[in-house]
Amino acid sequence: MSDLTRFGVAMETSLLAQLDELAQERGSTRSELLRDLARAEVLRSLSRKRVDAYASVTLVYNHHVRDLAERLMDMQHELGDQVRSTMHVHLDHDRCLELIVMRGRADRLQSAAEKLFGTRGVLQGSIEIVAATGGAGSKQEHDHDHDHGRRGTRDA
């Protein structure tokens, strides 16, 4: 862990009580919780920047909407190798969930996701962006074993 700096934070007593309750529920401390919140906000800000990133895009859509599945697939094919993998789940009689794993520049991933979210028939959408630790196209070093093969990915 890097060097820690202590600093004071002023907040309403009621908010501090809620923060302490949340920390206790998570089995955490105020400091750990504030660090987690700060990291999440910094990562959220990356979606507007030109940094290499990964994203998970989740769509829930009405599969009865005419040609919607085909339009979503066409949009993914237009993104080319930015789309790394997809998973399709039938939720119920009317709805499907699509999970799309992407890699590219964070601002472009955000823009692509917003286009998907705005497609007629998409009921709900969300994106989670994680900055890549290395530069674009760099190979990541790992201290654990796992298969980096392309199993489970769709052909683009």
Q: Which residues contact 129 (CB under 8 A, 6 or more apart)?
A: 43, 44, 46, 47, 53, 54, 55, 106, 109, 110
Question: 80 and 54: one domain?
Answer: yes
Q: What is the mean pLDDT of the chain?
A: 85
pLDDT band at 85 (very low <50, low <70, confident <90, very high): very high
What pLDDT score was predicted for residue 153? Answer: 47
User: Model-level pTM?
Assistant: 0.67
Instruction: Kindly report the backbone phi and psi dihedral angles of residue 6, in degrees, each rounded to the nearest multiple of 5, phi listed first.
Output: -90, 140
Q: In Å, what is the CA distance from 116 to each residue of 49, 72, 87, 124, 128?
A: 20, 7, 15, 10, 14
Q: In Å, what is the CA distance from 144 to each residue of 3, 53, 70, 121, 141?
A: 26, 21, 38, 41, 9
Residue range(s) defining the domain that contains residue 17: 13-46
Question: 54 and 36: one domain?
Answer: no
Q: Say how far residue 103 (Cα) sits from the centre of its chain.
A: 11
Question: 65 and 42: one domain?
Answer: no
Residue 96: helix, strand or coil by DSSP? strand
Q: Name the residue with higher pLDDT: 129 or 154.
A: 129
Rounded-to-integer distance, Cα 113 and Cα 55, Å? 9
Q: How many separate domains does the chain show?
A: 2
**Mean pLDDT, range 109-126, rounded to an integer:** 96
CATH number of the domain where residue 103 is located: 3.30.70.1150
pLDDT digits 0-9 by tens, 139-149? 444 444 545 45
Asked, for residue 156, whether it belongs to a domain, the answer is no
